[in-house]
Amino acid sequence: MDLFDHNRQAQIDREAPLAARMRPRTLDEFVGQDAVVGPGRLLRRAIQADQLSSLIFFGPPGTGKTTLAQIIANTTSAHFIAVNAVLAGVKDLREGIAQAQDLRGRYGRRTILFVDEVHRFNKAQQDALLPWVENGTVILIGATTENPYFEVNKALVSRSRLFQLQSLGPEELRRVVHQALTDPERGYGNRPIHLEPDALEHLVNVANGDARALLNALELAVETTPPDNAGNITIPLAVAEESIQRRAVLYDKEGDAHFDTISAFIKSVRGSDPDAALYWLARMVYAGEDPRFILRRLIILASEDVGLADPQAVAVVTSCADAFDRIGMPEGRYPLAQATLYLATAPKSNSTMGFFEALATVEREREAAVPNPLRDANRDKADLGHGQGYLYPHAYRDHWVAQQYLPNGLQGQVFYQPSSQGYEAALQTQVAQRREAQLAALVDGSSGLPDVLTYSPDDPARDRWLQRTLSQAGVQLGQVRDRLFDLAPPQRHHRILDLHARTGLLTWEALRRVPEGQVYARVHNAQDYEALAEQAAALPELHRPALVHADYEALSAYLAAHSPDLAFERIVGRNAFGQAVNRERFVDILRQWLAPGGVVLLVETIPRHSQRISSLVDASSLSKALVKRWQQAEENALASSDDPRFNWQADTLETLFHQARFTVQLSTNRLHTGIYLSEALLQRWFAVDHHPPSYRDQIAPHLSEKDLAAIQTLCQRQLTAQTIDWQSTLVYLKASLTA
């Protein structure tokens, strides 16, 4: 670039619109999209580590798609090429690919190709990109306002990681305005501007989540408002209203917003919410949607979701559609709203879906012959007997008679399921009673039912399966894990902290559930840390969990030092509470780490409610007095207030979290696990002065040495090499911060 080019570029930068001048240059300046580039998110870590793979950003205008690409251009060591799909063609792509090949071959340097409005590329242009993305010649970053699953080559989508950007919230838009008014270099920081609060709120409200529209309106307001005698520029509400008079509605009649909005409308009507239905109807009418399209969808809904619960629904909606055709807009809004409200408040039934079950049966089953009584008797009744045996319903009481109308192979099949709503509720009993009568007629009149009893030959594989150990600990732990996560399923971009990783049961599941987020895992000892680190080494660096070997206080210090802005949407733990030395402090620390709207999920085994070993044996060979002393010794040990492993129950958890101003939900579950009692395990049970204390150590204070010897002998004789049903109690806790 020569001196003239430099001056020309500087002039362009100075004269650029405010929205272009204020475009963030670093991630720290970037406003919003915390779910995508917030602290600890995958994309932020990838940008900071310069380890990007192909990406596609999609979302509404003004949410930061192009800005993120430029931030990447400012931070990456890779060569960056930017093209706009509206202006570029295959020739431009080929030139960029050739440049990328040259840099890769000569210097081993990567190339990032940013394609703005990537959905504007036709199929041929997108296909031209595919092989170079696939072989790594270029890393593609695409930006689009359209759903890439609909508008972008499926092969490109499958090779890219998708990030959906959301419209900015009011607080984020206020930050954008604040940046513009305080930045002396690119914004209005060197000019005395006073934006009145109600004017600011109007701009934020009408911008509708679009930062670009907001800055354009602010610029228009500032540049068209003359300063007062003191040189100050005051922007009142009236000026703000003139600067941004109509809310920008995101609505492409052939794109994502069209389908999403009509979907929200139909689901609101189906869900019998007239308020939401009118809101989404207003959104569509305001954006210019064709009312005839809306009415067509309502006519479909009248049959699909109301059906026989209100047989008049179709008549009302079609009448409203006819009325609309007669009067047009704007008065046509009345019958449009009437049809919406009628369906939203009507009783609901989807019993017409029985047709599609019948259709699936026709497609799946071999075509069955029409039963002889149902065949047309007008042509060949005399020769072939068609129609013989048909019972004419009008000749019977109530104009109905019990007979079968389905093919022989489908007799008893049910397709129509009357709902208990509206008019259809009156049909429910009648249909059920007539079906019962038809089935009775089928059984009484049949010449003999087919043999439905079958016997399979011996299955060696099945026998081997039955002979396996009864222990299903792995399966049951998986069920515990899934139940815990299902209490508050995380989103893909969430940050999760596993309080007690140990074997990684929760850690690896967390990684699967938050591919665009991040997982921290705390481990209690060096052995667990090394084992998890070895497993994590097989993963790409960006996708590994952050392992921390520390107690809870040390972990808090570690997080504060390494990621002071980090907070977690989910904090999970299995048997983490039982490890806490100071329980009140443990709950306080969790509160500090939790992001707004976050949830703590714990599953804890309550030792006090665990299996009593005395109940596993036949103690008839012992004296009743000894058995009673043994059982009492177990109860005393498990009820000990001095042992932190046993001196708590479910209500202890609930009380502590309530005191820390959490909203708490508790549930308990009795777990049955098959355990094989080896000789070594029994020896550990009865070890002396073991650490942690053995079973013998726990009951010893309440029994004599003679008693202990008799109990140990009995257990070893009856339980060694046996598989027993071990029962324990789990408590599941879901805690969220009280608003």
The CATH number linked to 101 is 3.40.50.300
Of 122, 144, 164, which marks where a domain is finished? 164
Residues 401, 364: contact at Cβ < 8 Å? no
According to the model, what pLDDT value does residue 453 have? 29
* Threshold 0.75, pTM exceeds: no
- Do 498 and 511 fall within a single domain? yes
User: Helix, strand or coil for residue 672?
Assistant: strand
Residues of the chain with pLDDT under 50: 1, 3-4, 248, 440-473
Which residues, including other chains, have CB under 8 Å from residue 618's CB and lie 6 or more apart? Answer: 718
Residue range of the domain that includes 97: 33-164
Tens of pLDDT along 285-305? 887 788 888 999 999 999 999
- Do 595 and 616 fall within a single domain? no
Instruction: Report d(CA 615, CA 634) in Å as an integer.
Output: 11
Which residues, including other chains, have CB under 8 Å from residue 738's CB and lie 6 or more apart? Answer: 661, 662, 663
The separation between CA 532 and the C-alpha centre of its own chain, rounded to angstroms, equals 26
- Do 157 and 269 fall within a single domain? no
User: Helix, strand or coil for residue 1?
Assistant: coil
Instruction: Report d(CA 81, CA 97) in Å as an integer.
Output: 10
Place of tokens 């489908």: 410
Classify residue 362: in a domain, yes or no: no
Classify residue 194: in a domain, yes or no: no
- Do 44 and 146 fall within a single domain? yes
What value, to the nearest 5°, has the Cα angle with vertex 660 and ends 656 and 666? 50
Instruction: Report d(CA 133, CA 597) in Å as an integer.
Output: 38
Classify residue 735: in a domain, yes or no: no
Total domain count for the chain?
5
- Do 683 and 599 fall within a single domain? no
Tens of pLDDT along 208-266? 788 888 888 888 888 888 888 888 888 888 888 887 765 545 555 555 667 888 888 99
According to the model, what pLDDT value does residue 10 have? 53
What is the end-to-end Cα distance of the chain in Å, rounded? 57
**Within 13 Å, how many C-alpha atoms sit on residue 9's CB side?**
6
According to the model, what pLDDT value does residue 641 have? 65
According to the model, what pLDDT value does residue 470 have? 31
User: Helix, strand or coil for residue 483?
Assistant: helix
Closest CA to 349 of 419, 451, 272: 419
The identity of residue 411, as a single letter, is Q
- Do 602 and 616 fall within a single domain? no
- Do 74 and 42 fall within a single domain? yes
Element of type H or E holding 136: none
What value, to the nearest 5°, has the Cα angle with vertex 721 and ends 716 and 725? 95
Residues 698, 625: contact at Cβ < 8 Å? no
Burial of 414 (0-12, 13-18, 19+ CB in 10 A): exposed
How many other CB atoms are there within 10 angstroms of residue 325's CB atom?
A: 13
- Do 129 and 116 fall within a single domain? yes
Classify residue 236: in a domain, yes or no: no
- Do 623 and 572 fall within a single domain? no
Q: Name the phi and psi angles at 9, rounded to 5.
A: -65, -40
Alpha helices in 599-702 (DSSP H): 624-638, 650-659, 679-685, 695-699
Of 291, 315, 349, which marks where a domain is finished? 349
Indicate the angle between helix axes 274-287 and 333-345, nearest 10 degrees. 150
Give me 119's structure tokens.
């959905």
The identity of residue 115, as a single letter, is V
From residue 310, how far is each of 205, 350, 489 by CA, in Å? Answer: 41, 11, 37
Of 145, 164, 183, which marks where a domain is finished? 164
Instruction: Report d(CA 187, CA 20) in Å as an integer.
Output: 10
- Do 78 and 128 fall within a single domain? yes
Classify residue 276: in a domain, yes or no: yes
According to the model, what pLDDT value does residue 475 have? 59
Alpha helices in 346-421 (DSSP H): 354-364, 377-384
- Do 300 and 401 fall within a single domain? no
According to the model, what pLDDT value does residue 556 have? 87
The identity of residue 244, as a single letter, is I
- Do 99 and 154 fall within a single domain? yes
Indicate the angle between helix axes 583-593 and 650-659, nearest 10 degrees. 50
Q: Name the phi and psi angles at 223, rounded to 5.
A: -70, -20
Classify residue 400: in a domain, yes or no: yes
Q: Are strands 594-605 and 722-737 parallel, antiparallel or unpaired?
A: antiparallel
Classify residue 69: in a domain, yes or no: yes
Classify residue 102: in a domain, yes or no: yes
Residues 121, 93: contact at Cβ < 8 Å? no
